[in-house]
Amino acid sequence: MLNYIIEFIKLISEKLKINNVVLVSDIDINFDNLRVIKAPKQYIETIKNTFAITGSCGLTESVMSIPGISEFIETFLEVTEESSKAIVCVYLPSLKGVFVIDSESKLSKILKECSEYVKPEALRATLAVALSIAFKGREGRKTGTAFVLGDEENVMKKSRQAILNPYEGHPKERRDIKNPENWESVREFAQLDGVFVIDSEGYILAAGRYLDIEGELVLKYGLGGRHIACASITKTTKSIAIVVSSSGGDITIFKDGKPIIEIPVSLM
C-alpha cells in the first residue's frame, strides 16, 4: 500500500504544483524531490490515541478534525515563508490517507492583517522563535515569554525595565530578530521575567520589561498575567504581541487588545 500512496502523492504534486509533503507517520518516507515536513512525535501519538478511541465508538470520520493539525501545517509553512499549499500524508498502523491543503491559511490572513503595524518578515521571524521556545523550552523546561512588536516609542513609555536591559548598547546586527544567528540569545533571555520589546523593523530594543495594564479587558478564563498585559498594550498602542504560555507552550497573537489567533502547540 505504501508504494501506491507514494506514487499517488507524486502524481498530485505534479498536477497541482505542490512541493510540500507533511508526513504524519512513525516511519520516515522518501518522496524523492518533494520537501518533507515531519509532524512532531507528540502530535502523531495524539492522532493514534484519538483514532483508537473514536474507532471504538464508530466515529473514525472525526479523527482528522483533531485540533492542531491545520495549525501545525499552516504555522510551519508560514514562518518558513514557503507556499501555504501542502499534501498531507497520514501513514499509521490503523489510519492511512492523503489530503491536500490548497487555500490561504488563517495564519496567512492574520499575518497580512498585522502588516499594518509590523513588517511581515519581522513578525514571521519572531513567531519562528516563539515556536522554537514553545516546542523545546529551555534545558527541558517549559518556558513562557512574550514579544511586543511595533509602535516602540509608545510601548516603551507604557512599560518599565524589571532588570538591566541585556540588549542595551548592542549594535543593530546583534539585535536583529530576523537573523537566526541571534535566536539562541533570545531563547536564553526568554527565561527572564518580563517581555521583549521589538521595533516594527525587527530590532530588539529590550528584554525583561514589565508592561503597564490600562483599562478593562475581556479575555477568556484561564489566561494569565502575561496574556492580560499583552492584550492591554496592544489595545492602547499600535503593536502586535506574541505570547508563549508557560503552562502548555501554546501561542497566542494579540492585536488591538484581542487574541486574533491561538496556536495549540501543546497538541503538536
CB-count exposure of residue 215 (10 Å: 0-12, 13-18, 19+): exposed
Per-residue model confidence as pLDDT tens digits over 240-258:
999 998 876 688 999 999 9
Predicted confidence at residue 74, as pLDDT, reads 61
pTM of this structure: 0.71
Cell 526568554 belongs to residue: 190
pLDDT, position 66: 47
State the pLDDT at residue 219: 67
Q: What is the mean pLDDT of residues 259-264?
A: 86
Per-residue pLDDT tens over the stretch 78-114: 555 555 678 889 898 878 889 887 766 677 788 888 9
pLDDT at 38: 83
- Average pLDDT in the chain: 83
Q: Would the CA dihedral through 137, 138, 141, 143 be positive or negative? A: negative
Cell numbers representing residue 178 in the block: 530576523
Question: pLDDT class for 75, splitting at 50, 70, 90?
Answer: low
DSSP annotation string for 68-118:
THHHHHHHHHHHTT--S-EEEEEEETTEEEEEEE-S--HHHHHHHHHTTTS
**Grid cell locating 233:** 498594550
The closest of 152, 177, 135 to 268, measured between CA atoms, is 135
Q: How far apart are CA 215 and CA 138, in angstroms?
A: 34
Span 119-163, pLDDT tens digits: 988 998 898 888 888 876 555 567 889 999 999 999 999 999 989
Which of the four pLDDT bands, split at 50, 70 and 90, describes residue 168?
very high
- The residue extents of the domains of the chain are 2-103, 109-267
Q: What CATH architecture is 109-267?
A: 3-Layer(aba) Sandwich (3.40)
Specify the pLDDT at position 45: 76
User: Is residue 68 very low, low, confident or very high in pLDDT (cuts 50, 70, 90)?
Assistant: low
Residue range 58-76: mean pLDDT, rounded: 52
| 167-183 mean pLDDT | 94
